[in-house]
Chain A
Amino acid sequence: MTDKRLTEEDVVAELRDGMTIGIGGWGSRRKPMSIVRAILRSDLKDLTIVSYGGPDVGMLCATGKARKVVYGFVSLDTIPLEPHFRAARQNGTIEAMELDEGMLQLGLRAAAWRVSFLPCRAGLGSAIMENNPSIKTVTSPYDGEELVAMPALPLDAALLHANRADARGDAQYLGPDWYFDDLFAMAAQRTFVSCERVVEPAGFASEGAPETIRISRLWTDGVVEAPFGAHFTHCVPDYGRDEALQREYAATAKDADAWESFRTKWIDVPEPEYRRLAEASLSGAAA
């Protein structure tokens, strides 16, 4: 029986410069931030990031790790515009592929099903078709309709954060929405799942109904036990968003010194230290 448990650093060691990496979650919700931080601390470069983006995208832009971002939006939810992503777009430091949210989903599904595209109506008439000349239309052989041929978005790796997982890589989602984590996993060559707690397979039942075990080990290659691994994004029902720290993070986009001190305190730290800080910050005991 394969034990897939890894550390964040082990995951980074499996990644290469120039890879296309999908990141699960949605906006500032259940993002695999501990693995993202390990990327930020690494020498990896020239990454293409595919995401319903939040601070994962913002941080990868702010540190120059992202060369290209494929997104439907990038938002911090309670702070609608992600300031580090905005700066990267406005300064022209990243390449962008901006898609309709549904098209992004369809591109992942096409990759999951190993077809080169899937048709949709979304995108027709919009600026997406002008801003992304690589996206073509296709004429239906059945009724002659000309539809968007959303190209597959194959991923070299997917990074996800779940509430629970077992050591073999089955992952359990206890919040109300697992977003598109399953599609990211299926679209990727290799998938790494961090989780709040690793449990025995028999332990899932006491956490939630069987249908909360959304991702099968068929699609996963590594499991990282990462308590507070989504912090400061939310990971309900384990914890909510750390709004105070998110505000502090957002404010650093216009202040290089503030960004450096944020980075020193919240990124360039060993994970055990981070967990202590996160727990204290969530309970309001630390600034």
Chain B
Amino acid sequence: MTRVSLAETCVVACAEAWRGDGEILASPIGLIPTLGSRLAALTFEPDLVYTDGDAFQLAAPQASDASSDASKAIEAWMPFAKMFDVVWAGKRHVMMGATQVDRFGNQNIACIGPWAKPKAQLLGVRGAPGNTVNHTTSYFIPQHSARVFVEAVDCVSGVGYDRVALAGPAAGKFHEIRCVVTNLAVLDFETPDHSMRIRSLHPGVTADAVQAATGFPLIVPPDVIETRAPTDEDLRLVRELLDPKSLRDAELGT
């Protein structure tokens, strides 16, 4: 196989987020998380459930360049009303984006500046509050920078570990922010106070470089490992089946 691209490293890192999840709905937002969820389903998590992002659960993945009217292998109907049933029953692991994320995993997609009169109105909180207190959540950040990794987010959309602790037992009962995959590293919250640490570094990236691109102090374990490299089978599936037109590179701005 030829040299592994950064996008391919990220796809595998995203796939790993769903390891161990079994028969739950994998809901990726964005192309690289989508490729990751499909790769997980095709390799080590064969019971993962996924949809076309619209109203149908699929029995087999579509290529990233499939047109909207291409035929689909539909195995179940899942309109938005059903989606909330899945979310509130906890049978889901979502990987969302984030305009901002802080050291305890609070995420903002709603607005920049004060909520009452924002400097920039973004999406609104969408499903992030409900997702984070009902089932496992991860984040994908295509460009790791101190503008995204901030000391405090402007509007808590997805709820992090510190806020969930303050909100009481009902908030924490099903809460898990599993990991944050970026173009530099994989981060998680497996520390005594659930503050963010480096879980693995992508090839060629140093812990110092990740810290320099982060607006708060990260926990750096002494034995930080390298992000798992794609297997030959991973690369074949991504390059030939899931993303033959290599749309994945554009998501990283490379």
Binding site for B on A (CB under 8 A): 26, 71-75, 80-81, 85-86, 89-90, 92, 98-103, 105, 120-128, 131, 145-147, 176-180
B157 within 8 Å of A (CB atoms): yes
Residue of A with least CB distance to B52: A176
Q: A73-B124, A86-B120, A176-B56 are in contact. Are A121 and B130 (CB under 8 A)?
A: yes
Docked-complex contact A102 and B127, CB < 8 angstroms: yes
Partner of B54, one of A85, A86, A103, A176: A176
Docked-complex contact B119 and A126, CB < 8 angstroms: no
Docked-complex contact B155 and A125, CB < 8 angstroms: no
Query: Which of B17-25, B77-85, B139-147 is the interface stretch?
Result: B77-85
Docked-complex contact B121 and A86, CB < 8 angstroms: yes
* B54 surroundings in chain A (CB, below 8 A): 176-177
Q: A100-B130, A121-B133, A180-B80 are in contact. Are A127 and B157 (CB under 8 A)?
A: yes
Q: How far is the CB of B127 from chain A (nearest CB, A)?
A: 5
* A92 surroundings in chain B (CB, below 8 A): 116-117
Docked-complex contact B124 and A71, CB < 8 angstroms: yes
A sample of 10 inter-chain contacts (CB < 8 A) reads: A73-B123, A73-B126, A81-B122, A120-B88, A124-B159, A124-B170, A125-B129, A127-B157, A145-B169, A179-B79
Partner of B163, one of A86, A100, A125, A147: A125
10 closest cross-chain pairs (CB), A and B: A122-B130, A125-B167, A126-B129, A176-B55, A124-B171, A89-B121, A125-B159, A177-B79, A145-B170, A100-B129
Bound state CA distance, A131 and B118, in angstroms? 12
Q: How far is the CB of A259 from chain B (nearest CB, A)?
A: 18
Q: How far is the CB of A3 from chain B (nearest CB, A)?
A: 31
Bound state CA distance, A179 and B163, in angstroms? 31
Bound state CA distance, A92 and B111, in angstroms? 13
Bound state CA distance, A72 and B125, in angstroms? 7
Bound state CA distance, A101 and B94, in angstroms? 15
How many interface residues does chain B have, given as a range? 35 or more
Binding site for A on B (CB under 8 A): 54-56, 77, 79-81, 84, 87-88, 110-111, 115-130, 132-134, 155-159, 163-164, 166-171, 173-174
* B168 surroundings in chain A (CB, below 8 A): 124, 146
Please name 4 further chain A to chain B contacts, defined as beta carbons within 8 Å, in addition to the given A101-B126, A145-B173, sorted by A numbering: A102-B130, A121-B133, A123-B133, A125-B167
Docked-complex contact B125 and A125, CB < 8 angstroms: no
Bound state CA distance, A86 and B117, in angstroms? 10
Docked-complex contact A126 and B117, CB < 8 angstroms: no
Bound state CA distance, A105 and B84, in angstroms? 9
* B87 surroundings in chain A (CB, below 8 A): 102
Bound state CA distance, A91 and B116, in angstroms? 10
Docked-complex contact A126 and B169, CB < 8 angstroms: no
Docked-complex contact A90 and B117, CB < 8 angstroms: yes
Bound state CA distance, A105 and B79, in angstroms? 14
Bound state CA distance, A211 and B216, in angstroms? 54
Partner of A89, one of B118, B163, B170: B118
Docked-complex contact A120 and B118, CB < 8 angstroms: no
Docked-complex contact A125 and B80, CB < 8 angstroms: no
Q: How far is the CB of A210 from chain B (nearest CB, A)?
A: 16
Residue of B with least CB distance to A98: B124
